[in-house]
A and B are shown apart, each in its own frame.
Chain A
């Protein structure tokens, strides 16, 4: 590859040769004219290229002038001292012109690189504004790496123990924690701006084990250093890195702020939930407790007749059932909240899951027709305990939200994508407005609010159990019927054993 300088050199020499040849044909041409013509060539060369090219061309031009045009022609002897002046003029013009053009070119190059830097910084700050909290710092470091073409860059933040490193480049930056500590310590109580390097004080660089120079730039919140930006950045100047560190510090602040806000929102949500739980429990616990207490006190009366006595026992047992269910729901909810549910998968048939679920809510399904359609002859590998418990809640809901004389439809199957079971009732269906809230904790359907049954936890538990089992549940209205709830659990399926 021939460099631009070599090309200009060759071109300059060629023009000198051509000019000489042309001027030699006109013998009457005075040496002054020749000198001026060659000076033009030198000037052009100096403008287009570097100093050394200009000097070479000017020396050649001077020699040509001397040899071909200055008397005695045909020798390099300079008879007239005047011609020494011409020679120096050539050299000085070459030097000044090439200095001027080099300075102009440098300024242009710097302007372009500044513009690039500003553009990159702008892009980086836009990236930062779009950064979400999840993996925010990794994303930030990746953006820095991408925008500034850095293969090795890391944001290092002091943690409770040691340092938290957020790597962004293709390769990790390997650095001693002591170096990071030292960089951070050197910033304490000092904040100076180095105008020449366009950077705040505190930057440093260390040699890595592999012999690379790693720049360490403090990340500052205001005047306080909160971490260190480490980068292997041979082509990027210090001022740029310092500006990047400034943007990175803002991004870190933003990510931390977002995290705090999220944490505050979670705390608030928990408080809301706790007060809802209290309000709900207040009603759901007190009512059965009152009924049981009064029923038992009634039973103490010797005068009570046998029928009345039986009735009081029945009421007390029913309310005890209700308390038991509420207790179970609270326990399930607590387990879901504590993420204490682990799926234990095993091969079962869809029909077994439906049987287990109906057995679980036998009390609610008493006297009801349940039409089970388990058409599949394949087994599924799911946690039968979780899935049947979830299904049981749906069955209980269907029984509560539809008239006693209406059948409840259950369709279970093992499909290509896993296990699917739906429960369809012939109740009033779901209000379109409540679809969004159905699975929220303590949300009760219109009917449940009026008749005050249910704990408002059933569907939330269903969803929680299925999430633990890796599945999901959704609701829809069935034209001409009521509501349909469907559970889907992606899982392996196989032909049922012992079918052949």
Chain B
């Protein structure tokens, strides 16, 4: 049975092009043109993925994210035409999994769709080593092996690496990472995160200035590479 994607956008011509695109790649597509219609379609069709434009006429796209996330784990990819990072961050913090900025390339969108859909059918294992490219993360023994050699990490660095590696391919906002590593009181201190990311990159990246594992999403957060280049 094909995976079902709900596309929500108020521009008829975006729907008229995105729907055929996704259908041609074998997905089952339904569409909605406003927030209310989107919520109804979620109830009715139970889609596997939602592609959601943030600028909807009847409600804030961020609210749609929150309402969908309330009780459902359906991944959400946000389309933003605003170019405003604030909106993306708000959407991601409200439960969206990823974002694509208009105008986007078709392959970029399709890649994000694949990553988001993969996450739903493989719940990450809670134990056992994580293998990513040349990295082997042994969660039980707090060990990291890179190219067959052990790399020493501080406890915080290890915690951050595990958190990122558990969400491969997904954008994690500064706020979400800060909350996971330091706790809710630290969410307004992004400088902690910058420093820690910097030291972790030095240990796991071959070239920290052009990272392969920990990718920067400017002004939004970080993404742990799904398929390291």
Contact with A along B27-65 (1 / 0, CB 8 A): 000000000000000000000000000010110000000
* A294 contact set on B, CB distance < 8 A: 14, 17-18, 21, 106
Asked whether, in the complex, the Cβ of A287 is within 8 Å of the Cβ of B102, the reply is: yes
Q: How distant is the Cα of A250 from the Cα of B12 in the complex, in angstroms?
A: 62
| A contacts with B, residue count (CB < 8 A) | 27
Contacts A291-B14, A319-B13 known; A286 to B57 CB distance under 8 Å? no
* B103 contact set on A, CB distance < 8 A: 286, 289-290, 293
Interface flag for A417 (CB, 8 Å): no
Asked whether, in the complex, the Cβ of B16 is within 8 Å of the Cβ of A291, the reply is: yes
Interface flag for A30 (CB, 8 Å): no
Asked whether, in the complex, the Cβ of A282 is within 8 Å of the Cβ of B17, the reply is: no
Contact with A along B1-18 (1 / 0, CB 8 A): 000000000110110111
Contact with A along B95-113 (1 / 0, CB 8 A): 0000001111110000000
Asked whether, in the complex, the Cβ of B106 is within 8 Å of the Cβ of A297, the reply is: yes
Q: How distant is the Cα of A294 from the Cα of B14 in the complex, in angstroms?
A: 8
Asked whether, in the complex, the Cβ of B21 is within 8 Å of the Cβ of A283, the reply is: no
Within 8 A of A (CB), among B53-108: 55, 57-58, 81-83, 101-106
Q: In the complex, which residue of chain A has the Cβ closest to the Cβ of B10?
A: A452
Q: Which of A45-53, A123-131, A307-315, A388-396 lies at the interface?
A: A307-315
Interface flag for A378 (CB, 8 Å): no
Interface flag for B209 (CB, 8 Å): no
Contacts A282-B83, A298-B24 known; A289 to B102 CB distance under 8 Å? yes
Interface flag for A450 (CB, 8 Å): yes
Q: Name A's interface SS.
A: helix
Contacts A287-B102, A293-B105 known; A298 to B11 CB distance under 8 Å? no
Asked whether, in the complex, the Cβ of A304 is within 8 Å of the Cβ of B20, the reply is: yes
Interface flag for A318 (CB, 8 Å): yes
Other than the given A287-B13, A450-B58, 11 more pairs (CB < 8 A) read: A282-B83, A286-B101, A289-B102, A290-B104, A291-B14, A294-B21, A298-B21, A298-B24, A450-B57, A452-B55, A452-B57
Q: List 22 A-B contacts (CB under 8 A).
A: A279-B82, A282-B83, A283-B55, A286-B81, A286-B102, A286-B103, A289-B102, A290-B17, A290-B102, A291-B11, A293-B105, A294-B18, A297-B21, A297-B106, A298-B17, A298-B24, A311-B20, A312-B16, A312-B20, A451-B10, A452-B11, A452-B55
> Which A residues are within 8 Å of any B CB, using their own CB?
279, 282-283, 286-291, 293-295, 297-298, 301, 303-304, 308, 311-312, 315, 318-319, 449-452
> Which B residues are within 8 Å of any A CB, using their own CB?
10-11, 13-14, 16-18, 20-21, 24, 55, 57-58, 81-83, 101-106
5 shortest interchain CB distances as A-B pairs: A289-B103, A294-B17, A290-B103, A286-B102, A297-B106
